Amino acid sequence: MTRPRVAVVGGGPAGLSAACAVVAAGAATTVIDEQPRLGGRLRYRRAPVAVGGRDLIDPGELVQTMIGAASDAGVSLLPDVTAWALFAGNRLALSGSGAPAELEVDRVILATGSTDRPYPFPGGSLPGVFSARAVHLLLNHYHVRPGRRFVILGDGPDAREAAGDVNAAGGEVAAVVGIAAPGGALAAEGETHVERVVIDGETVEADTVVVAVSRQPDADLARLVGAGISWRDMSNGHIVVHDAGGATTVPGVFVTGDAAGVTDIATALARGQATGLAVAASLSLIDASDPRLAASLGAGSIWSEAGGIAVDVPSAGLSHGHTDGQDPWDAAPMSGATEFVCRCEEVSAAVIRDAIDAGAQSINDVKRRTRAGMGACQGCFCTGPIATLLSRHAQVPRSAIDPMTARPPVRLLPLERLAGRGSPRDGL
Amino acid sequence: MSERFRPGGFAANDEIASEPEVPFHVDGRTVMAREGEPLAIALLASGVRIFRTMPHTGEPRGGYCLVGRCTDCLMIVDGQPNVRTCLTPVAPGMVVQTQHGLGERDEHDPFCLGATT
């Protein structure tokens, strides 16, 4: 009898944790990740991770342990492979050397994590403006300083962590700009890259700006396959509707980790494990009354047999990374012709405002009128700001705003791949 | 301005720092990179701040997310445009060019199939 097949999209803490749990239960498991190396945010976070029942673990050490455990347990690990679509019937479309063009499985676990929240401001698209994740990656994983004097945008834990990383890397934190005060004037200026940042009329010399205003779930494959979505204010934007085990409204498709709602690494590990067990139960690989399942879905510690990692499921709630009391998007003025809300198609806040004034009532409508969202990121970095502008100027509550319609491919895909010819550049 | 540094205490990540250095070419200049690191990272380490200019405004972009989502890092790599340099590992002798607009393809082999007509 063949083993049921499970594909995990995303090889970060939640994905690896889920894979270890479900392979231990007997599923043939594959982990897919578009990055050249597995590990997700474990690759570039410095702070030790509190994994239940053990001492604090260095993220770099943890990721090596998890990759080793997954590999030893027989998980098929496919880094440098992009899942560019998820079709009904749990069929994944893949692009990357060593990967089948299509992978049909019995269960799909989306552990695609989060992206940094965009924060449009004048000069925000100049070279030298980076997301917080980009700076963590540069400083902590690649040991590259992209500049010398850093201005950090944000009030919450993400901004504090970024400041700490800059200091540890020998860079200078020129300013940390709280964005909680709505209407605060902020602009980056420079000829061809950041040379200074103007904050409430005061000029600060800087060559790098770090946008650290928290994160948003990245679950475009869930939207593509038709999973139910709802908007959650304050922290997350559009959330894939899911139950305690991560099951979405689409049979066979589960969501876990940051993709289910922004959280910290320890919670992502626990959530991944819970989802792995829930998937195993859904495949009848473990009994629905198995005590590990109940323990993982509530507070308590459980062992992952494959990984040997005990993970405490925290009883605290989901939210993490949002600024205290103020949604970052509510704080962004977003009115000018030099603030690109859609970076890919170069659509400014002013153009989007005009479209709303002309009658646009939905994100799809704004997209049709302005091209915002039609670019390569497919709305990843403009959906939240556009929803915010709609709620501000069209009197549409954000809870009533649907994300733009997702279409395959969800990543840039050369025609050569569809023609069955390998592209020489897997990074495309 | 941008540079590589020697950190303390990032034990599991020192594998990057110890890779051999290899040359690649950027707009005709030769630049050193650590083998296997993404092109965008190597470019930032060597002081290159502009990767592309945008089709409508001509404005420069120099990388934003560095994880393959924003496409500010698209450049022409070995003749192929629209390559996400943040996900493309350096190989010795790679030829990288600043991309202006959407990039142009060879009119005789627009899909880079390598076939002769």
CB proximity under 8 Å: A 79-138 to B: 80, 115-116, 125-131, 133-134, 137-138
Is B70–A140 a contact, with Cβ atoms under 8 angstroms apart? no
Token pair listed for B72: 């500010």
Q: Taking residues A2-24, what's their average pLDDT? A: 96
pLDDT at position B26 = 97
Integer Cα distance of B88 and A426 in angstroms: 7
Q: Which residue has the higher pLDDT, A42 or A318?
A: A42
Is A143–B2 a contact, with Cβ atoms under 8 angstroms apart? no
Q: What is the DSSP letter of A48?
A: P
Burial degree of B71 (CB within 10 A; 0-12, 13-18, 19+) = buried
Which of A139, A425, A426 is the best residue to mutate to test the B interface, defined by the most B CB atoms within 10 Å of its own CB?
Answer: A425
Share of chain A above pLDDT 70, in %: 88
Answer whether A186's CB lies under 8 Å from A199's CB: yes
- Highest mean pLDDT (candidates A91-95, A152-156, A228-232): A91-95
Find, in chain B, the residue whose alpha carbon is nearest to that of A165: B7
pLDDT at position A312 = 35
Is B70–A423 a contact, with Cβ atoms under 8 angstroms apart? no
pLDDT at position A235 = 53
Residues A299-324: tens digit of each pLDDT: 333 333 333 333 333 333 333 334 44
- Residue B104 pLDDT grade (very low, low, confident, very high; cuts 50, 70, 90): confident
- Residue A45 pLDDT grade (very low, low, confident, very high; cuts 50, 70, 90): confident
Answer whether A295's CB lies under 8 Å from A301's CB: yes
Token pair listed for A143: 């040991």
Q: Assign residue A395 a region: left if phi > 0, alpha if psi is -120 to 50, beta otherwise?
A: left
Residues A245-302: tens digit of each pLDDT: 999 999 999 999 999 988 888 889 999 999 999 999 999 999 988 888 877 775 333 3
Residues A402-415: tens digit of each pLDDT: 999 999 999 988 77
The pTM for the full model equals 0.89
- Predicted interface score ipTM higher than 0.90: no
Is A381–B70 a contact, with Cβ atoms under 8 angstroms apart? yes
Is A126–B54 a contact, with Cβ atoms under 8 angstroms apart? no
Q: What is the largest CA-CA distance in chain B?
A: 56
For the cut 90, the answer to whether the pLDDT of residue A34 exceeds it is yes
Local structure of B111: helix, strand or coil: coil
Integer Cα distance of B43 and A373 in angstroms: 28
Is A169–B7 a contact, with Cβ atoms under 8 angstroms apart? yes
Q: Does A170 touch chain B (CB under 8 A)?
A: yes
Residues 6 or more apart from A89 whose CB is under 8 A from it? A104
Q: Which residue has the higher pLDDT, A421 or B13?
A: A421
Local structure of B86: helix, strand or coil: coil
pLDDT at position B2 = 55
- Residue A157 pLDDT grade (very low, low, confident, very high; cuts 50, 70, 90): confident
Q: Does A141 touch chain B (CB under 8 A)?
A: yes
Residues A325-367: tens digit of each pLDDT: 567 888 888 988 889 999 999 999 999 999 999 999 999 999 9
Residues of B in Cβ contact (< 8 Å) with A96? none
pLDDT at position A36 = 87
Half-sphere exposure (CA, 13 Å, Cβ side) for A359? 2
pLDDT at position A320 = 38
Q: Taking residues B19-44, what's their average pLDDT? A: 92
Residues of B in Cβ contact (< 8 Å) with A43? 13
Q: Does A165 touch chain B (CB under 8 A)?
A: no
Is A425–B78 a contact, with Cβ atoms under 8 angstroms apart? yes
Find, in chain A, the residue whose alpha carbon is nearest to that of B69: A377
Which of B18, B43, B46, B67 is the best residue to mutate to test the A interface, defined by the most A CB atoms within 10 Å of its own CB?
Answer: B67
Q: Where are the beta strands (DSSP E) in A146-263?
A: 149-153, 172-177, 186-189, 196-199, 202-205, 208-211, 215-217, 229-232, 237-240, 253-255
Q: Which of B44, B82, B86 sits opposite A144 (nearest CB)?
A: B44
pLDDT at position A118 = 92
Lowest mean pLDDT among A294-298, A388-392, B66-70: A294-298
- Residue A424 pLDDT grade (very low, low, confident, very high; cuts 50, 70, 90): very low
